[in-house]
Amino acid sequence: TPGVRGLKAYDPGHDLVAFRRRFAGRAGDAALVELGSNENPYGPSDAARAAILDNLHAIHRYPDPLGGDLKRALSAKHGVASERILLGNGSHELLMQLGQVFAGPGLDVAAPEVVFARHAFAVFALATQAAGARMRVAEPLPRDATMPLGHDLDALLAAITTDTRLLYVANPNNPTGTWFGADALAAFIARVPREVIVVVDEAYAEMADAPDYASALGLLDAYPNVVVTRTFSKAYGLAGLRTGYLIGAPGLVAVMERLRESFNVNGLALAACEAALRDEAHLRSACARNAGQRTALSESLRARGLEVFPSQTNFVLVGFGRDAAPIERALTERGVILRPMGGYGLPDCLRISVGNPDENRRLLAALDECL
Ligand code: PMP
């Protein structure tokens, strides 16, 4: 399709595997510091690791195609029926599939449109293009707003036309780290026409601790056009296992199930995620440590005169007031991997994942050599 013709393959920004090889075997202050992909530096619950080992004996068998046990565990956690949950090979797969199902060819409009914000998660644009739909990109709040570069919900609403079928919004958002509060969310959802599917991507929800933050899960009963996506990649520390999930109206989930690849979540991932859900203490501890380090890192970066955007995630967007590409390259040479933001239209910024105290200390030391 024309959409696919215009796509570029995923580019992680640098050859991470080559860097891992180059820094292999180096320990302590000489080891590679990976702060480019918003991973959890504390890793998963020990119970998740144990579940992987316990299930190794069965890897010659196909996994449960329905993921029943994990869905039941999620159903208990969120207080929603299993029929409202869809599992994905990472939430990335679900976001792509949403585009295919709700903005693909053959709908009631000739050219379906998908609305999302500038500086939103890159997969929103990818899913739209892959579906052959039209992108309608809303400008974010200005850089001098209370929530700089945050989602401008009025602008998102204004971008909706009669041809809009899908709207993606991440709360908190990547790559800005920004969020919007419960009242703003409820008012926004109430104003979106019911024929538009609203995807609230909550990949970082577990890490949000602002008093005004609320998940959209509480709105699902009232709004069958709203779906929430979540992931085990961030707060649960299981990025390598590739598991995410979606919660929505039973009818919507049933439609999505038709397209799902039967074994899209592997057996080790199913077992590990279920175990991870049971270890709430580990989740709470990882989130608390992340919040503490996020505050400390933000303060340290501001003390260096840098612009640090407010964040409710496990990363901070940092403005350098000039082209940040040379700084990023110099840091990479020192073994500190961050995410350049040129591709997101923010060339003066870098996105820095919040590491553990040691990683953050090394990042700041390397930064002091480069600034
Ligand atoms: N949504 C957002 C906002 C993200 O930042 C990410 C990961 N970077 C994802 C979804 C996808 O995560 P995964 O596919 O690992 O679940």
pLDDT-derived band at 341 (thresholds 50, 70, 90) equals very high
Residues 34-59 have pLDDT tens digits of 999 999 999 999 999 999 999 999 99
Mean per-residue pLDDT of the chain: 95
Tokens 């970066």 belong to residue: 301
Residues 134-154 have pLDDT tens digits of 999 999 999 999 999 999 999
Residue that is last in its domain, among 279, 299, 315? 279
Residues 79-118 have pLDDT tens digits of 999 999 999 999 999 999 999 999 998 888 889 999 999 9
**Ligand 1 neighbourhood includes 243 CB (under 6 angstroms):** no
Predicted pLDDT at 17: 85
Ordered alpha helix ranges (H), the chain:
2-5, 16-22, 46-55, 68-78, 90-103, 122-130, 153-159, 182-191, 250-259, 267-278, 280-303, 325-333, 357-370
Same domain? 63 vs 34: no
123 C-alpha to ligand 1 centroid (Å): 8
**Ligand 1 neighbourhood includes 159 CB (under 6 angstroms):** no
Same domain? 17 vs 134: no
**Ligand 1 neighbourhood includes 90 CB (under 6 angstroms):** yes
Predicted pLDDT at 350: 98
Q: Is residue 360 scored above 90 in pLDDT?
A: yes
For residue 347, what is the domain's CATH number? 3.90.1150.10
**Ligand 1 neighbourhood includes 174 CB (under 6 angstroms):** yes
Predicted pLDDT at 106: 82
Q: Is 168 helix (H, G, I), strand (E, B) or coil?
A: strand
Same domain? 169 vs 274: yes
Residue that is last in its domain, among 228, 256, 279? 279
Rounded-to-integer distance, Cα 128 and Cα 136, Å: 10
**Tokens standing for 311?**
């964040």
Cα radius of gyration rounded to whole Å, the chain: 20
pLDDT-derived band at 12 (thresholds 50, 70, 90) equals low
Rounded-to-integer distance, Cα 36 and Cα 124, Å: 19
293 C-alpha to ligand 1 centroid (Å): 21
pLDDT-derived band at 28 (thresholds 50, 70, 90) equals confident
**Ligand 1 neighbourhood includes 74 CB (under 6 angstroms):** no
Is the ipTM of this structure higher than 0.90?
yes
Same domain? 250 vs 104: yes
pLDDT-derived band at 4 (thresholds 50, 70, 90) equals confident
Same domain? 22 vs 135: no
Same domain? 207 vs 253: yes
Same domain? 259 vs 288: no
- Which has the higher per-residue pLDDT, 322 or 11? 322
Q: Which atom of ligand 1 is nearest to the CA of 234?
A: 15
Q: Is 276 helix (H, G, I), strand (E, B) or coil?
A: helix
Choose the residue to mutate in 35, 201, 354 for probing ligand 1, maximizing ligand atoms within 8 Å of C-beta.
201
Q: Is residue 326 scored above 80 in pLDDT?
A: yes
**Ligand 1 neighbourhood includes 272 CB (under 6 angstroms):** no
Percentage of the chain lying above the pLDDT 90 cut:
89
Residues 232-271 have pLDDT tens digits of 999 999 999 999 999 999 999 999 999 999 999 999 999 9
Predicted pLDDT at 181: 97
Residue that is last in its domain, among 230, 253, 279? 279
Same domain? 156 vs 238: yes
CA-nearest of 170, 168, 148, 202 to 348 is 148
Q: Write out the residue range of the structural domain in which residue 317 sits.
A: 2-44+281-370
Q: Is residue 9 scored above 90 in pLDDT?
A: no
Predicted pLDDT at 8: 80
Predicted pLDDT at 25: 87
Same domain? 16 vs 135: no
For residue 130, what is the domain's CATH number? 3.40.640.10
Predicted model pTM: 0.97
Predicted pLDDT at 13: 60
Rounded-to-integer distance, Cα 322 and Cα 299, Å: 20
Domain count, the chain: 2
Q: Which atom of ligand 1 is nearest to the CA of 242?
A: 15
